[in-house]
């Protein structure tokens, strides 16, 4: 028998899960799909919930897994497209649609646009800590890793973010290409 009332969980946590999905994907359309898929998985797999953690940390775990899977698929498709296109220099008009960015402008201008370029472990810790306001213990629970790893990833993630902003500022001073300026518009 399941320990989770799925309807109740959807009513309570859908907004939170949607916010995390929005921060991770950068656009509201993918965020809705990801949030819905998270709750569909919850409904399907609710019998697996043991009750050792809270429902919302379990939900965040599902969300991160789905996001990782989606990114992996997207990466595979991009690589295939690169092979198909002969890895040549292309003008933006010739680029396959799948490589085009679909994130909303507000997200791209925010620091979260830069966070998206960090490694998965650091990126996820930053989302759970600063967007979702989870405690270190809760993050460790979601990511199924030791507390020390969470703290380390958080520190290194922020340091890497600061470094990227600094680099972008330095590059701007040297009149670097426009695409880098678009990645870190606020920092410049």
- Residues at the contact surface with another protein, assessed by CB under 8 A: 6-7, 10-11, 14-15, 18-19, 22-23, 28, 31-32, 35-36, 39-40, 43, 104, 106-107, 110-112, 115, 126, 129-131, 133, 151, 154-155, 158-159, 161-162
Q: How far is the CB of 112 from another protein (least distance, A)?
A: 6
d(CA 123, CA 154): 9
Give me the DSSP letters along 32-82.
HHHHHHHHHHHHHHGGG--SSS-HHHHHHHHHHHHHHHHHHHHHHHHHHHH
| CA 55/CA 186 separation, integer angstroms | 36
CB of 152 to another protein, least distance (A): 10
Residue among 28 and 61 whose Cβ is closer to another protein: 28
Compute the distance between CA of residue 127 and CA of residue 147 in angstroms, rounded to an integer. 16
96 sits in the region (left: phi over 0; alpha: psi -120 to 50; else beta) called beta
Tokens of 123: 């990126």
CB of 62 to another protein, least distance (A): 14
d(CA 84, CA 93): 16
Task: Return the number of the residue (34 or 141) whose C-beta is nearest another protein.
Answer: 34
Shortest distance, CB of residue 22 to another protein, whole angstroms?
A: 6
Q: How far is the CB of 147 from another protein (least distance, A)?
A: 11
CB of 40 to another protein, least distance (A): 7
C-beta of residue 108 within 8 angstroms of C-beta of residue 182: yes
Rounded Cα gap, residues 125 and 105, in angstroms = 23
Closest to another protein by CB, 132 vs 141, is 132
Nearer to another protein, 145 or 158 (CB): 158
Q: Which is nearer to another protein, 8 or 144 (CB)?
A: 8
Nearer to another protein, 40 or 180 (CB): 40
């Amino acid at each position: 028998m399941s320990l989770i009332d799925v309807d109740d969980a959807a009513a309570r946590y859908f907004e939170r899960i949607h916010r995390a999905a929005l921060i991770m994907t950068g656009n509201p359309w993918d965020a809705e799909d990801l949030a819905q898929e998270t709750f569909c998985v919850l409904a399907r797999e609710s019998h697996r919930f043991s009750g050792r953690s809270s429902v919302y940390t379990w939900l965040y775990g599902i969300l991160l897994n789905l996001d990782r899977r989606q990114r992996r698929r997207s990466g595979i498709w991009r690589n295939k497209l690169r092979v198909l296109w002969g890895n040549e220099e292309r003008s933006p008009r010739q680029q396959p649609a799948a490589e085009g960015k679909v994130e909303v402008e507000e997200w791209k201008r925010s620091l979260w646009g830069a966070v998206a370029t960090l490694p998965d472990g650091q990126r996820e810790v930053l989302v759970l800590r600063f967007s979702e306001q989870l405690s270190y213990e809760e993050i460790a629970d979601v990511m199924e890793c030791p507390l020390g790893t969470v703290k380390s990833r958080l520190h290194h993630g922020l340091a890497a973010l600061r470094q990227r902003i600094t680099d972008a500022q330095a590059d701007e001073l040297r009149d670097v290409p426009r695409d880098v300026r678009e990645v870190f518009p606020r920092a410049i």
